[in-house]
Amino acid sequence: MKVNSNSLIKNWVFSTLRSNVIKNIFLLYIIHFANYLLPLIVVPYLVRVLSPSGFGIVSFAQSLIAYLTIFVDYGFALSATRKISVYRNNKIEVSRIFFNVLAAKGFLGLIGFIVLLLLTSLIPQFKEISTLLIILYGTIVGNILFPIWLFQGLEKMVFISVINLTTKILMVMGIFLFVKSSQDYLLYAIILSVSSMFAGFIGIILALWRFKIDFTMPSLQGIWKELK
């Protein structure tokens, strides 16, 4: 009976792990599918409405914002995810990591914004689209707020999928409802930024409410540790 009992426990553990892995992989595929499908719907509309040149200007601005996003993200999607996974059963440590990572990303976000202001002041090509760039920086604010690394570390991919899909659907609806002419390129940027920040705020609220993250004052030592 002892052997059978141990065997049953092992089988249950392995089946649970397999089911969680399969579920998380499936949800990741949903996210990637949405990320590929929605642009196929939106881009042709934007090219027609904003005009090819207007859409090109927005795409150019987004490419710069993408580089700054990489800088602000700083690999937290890997390092913070790993730490959360290791300490997932330690509520105090998870809370400490959570707020230190948020503070670290906020610090990098501030540096990124200063860099953006310098670029728009010193480089004529960026100065011409400075308003567009500053508005689009809201997408980086959303990236800072959205704790994807927490959900991944806790293997709660369903939250990422639901938030991602919901905000993207709302974003697409906003684009089709409000972006009607080539003069609406700033409105398009606002919709992108608001959608990103909305996802970030929802992610923070879920983290604090669903996973009972307790506020822990970030420390300089803790922030530096996350940046190392």
Residues 6+ apart with CB under 8 A from 205: none
Domain that holds residue 91: 26-227
Q: Is residue 207 a part of any domain in this protein?
A: yes
- Provide the whole-model pTM: 0.85
The lowest-confidence range among 13-27, 39-53, 143-157, 158-172 is 13-27
pLDDT in tens, 4-30: 555 555 555 445 545 566 666 766 677
Q: Is residue 128 a part of any domain in this protein?
A: yes
Asked whether residue 124 carries a pLDDT value surpassing 90, the answer given is yes
Cα–Cα distances (Å) from 21 to 26, 76, 173, 185, in that order, read 9, 21, 33, 41
Q: Is residue 11 a part of any domain in this protein?
A: no
Asked whether residue 41 carries a pLDDT value surpassing 50, the answer given is yes
Percent of the chain with pLDDT over 70: 87
The CA-based dihedral angle spanning residues 191, 117, 79, 103, taken in that order and rounded to the nearest 10 degrees = -90
pLDDT at position 23 is 65
CA 9, CA 150: separation in Å to the nearest integer?
A: 28
Q: Is residue 16 a part of any domain in this protein?
A: no
CA 4, CA 18: separation in Å to the nearest integer?
A: 21
Q: How many domains does the chain have?
A: 1
Q: Is residue 14 a part of any domain in this protein?
A: no
Q: Is residue 9 a part of any domain in this protein?
A: no
CA 38, CA 61: separation in Å to the nearest integer?
A: 20
Residues 6+ apart with CB under 8 A from 76: 101, 104, 105, 149, 226
Q: Is residue 10 a part of any domain in this protein?
A: no
Cβ atoms of residues 105 and 76 within 8 Å: yes
Q: Is residue 1 a part of any domain in this protein?
A: no
Cβ atoms of residues 20 and 85 within 8 Å: no
